[in-house]
Amino acid sequence: MGRPRTPLLDRERITTTALQLVDEQGDFSVPQIAKRLGVQTGSVYHHVDGRDGIVELLRERVAAAIDPGTLDATPWDAAVEAWARSYRAAFAAHPKAIPLLMTSPVRAPRVLEQYERAVTLLLDAGFAPGDVMPLIIALENLVLGSALDLAAPETMWVLTETTPTPRLAEALAAAGEGRTNRAFEVGLAGFLAHARSTLAAGG
């Protein structure tokens, strides 16, 4: 066939298709993307830096829903809390993408910019330089960990008769639907309380 007059493919369409596949299946493959776009597998590689490049495009796409304005709130702990909630909401919209994104290093420029701003916020609030990354990583663990829970099958635990776990079953039932959201609230409240007391105690 050769080169078409107008390109059949672009990064935007590849990203959209990959995200659709991830939302449906929790994963994607390059041949699957090509098939949906009516194109040969090899063609995708002309627009994208391999499979890892597509993962990074997905990170940009999902993170684009984080509201950067949250980091302008005052005081600092209101900003951190609003950012964490916006961050979590963005990933909660595509929970099945989280395992994919958690296990590869962040290269996406827009995501790095967000972290740069978060670091600045905490430094300006008066945190010691050495304390900033542990706080941000702890928050990230909280946000992504709890959003990951959203991606998990109905229950993250498969209870069978072979291993009797009556109290675990009861506790799961008692927690109900909001289980994951409440775990996030618990973690976030704990995080913020600790951060405030760290700042009060420190120089």
Partner DNA sequence: ACCTGAACACCGTTCAAGT
Instruction: Compute the least distance from the CB of residue 146 to DNA, in Å.
Output: 28
Nearer to DNA, 20 or 86 (CB): 20
55: three-class secondary structure by DSSP: helix
Q: Which is nearer to DNA, 18 or 151 (CB)?
A: 18
Over the window 130 to 159, marking each residue x when it contacts DNA by CB under 7 A and - when it does not, the resulting string is ------------------------------
Torsion of CA 175, 85, 198, 149, to 10 degrees: 40
Minimum Å gap between C-beta 83 and DNA is 32
**Residue that has been written with the tokens 């090509």 in this structure:** 34
- Given its own copies, DNA, none, residue 200, with its beta carbon under 5 to 8 Å by kind, binds none
HSE on the CB side for 99, CA within 13 Å? 11
Please choose, out of 47-55, 121-129, 157-165, 168-176, the segment that lies near DNA by the rule CB under 7 A. 47-55
Choice between 46 and 167, CB closer to DNA: 46
Q: For residues 16 and 23, what is the distance between their CA atoms, to the nearest angstrom?
A: 11
Binding flag, residue 51, DNA (CB under 7 A): yes
Structural tokens at position 51: 């499979």
- Which residue lies nearer to DNA by CB, 43 or 198? 43
Q: How far apart are CA 40 and CA 33, in angstroms?
A: 9
Interaction of residue 28 with DNA, rule CB under 7 A: yes
Is residue 174 at the binding interface for DNA, with CB under 7 A as the rule?
no
Residue among 175, 19, 146 at smallest CA distance from 84? 146
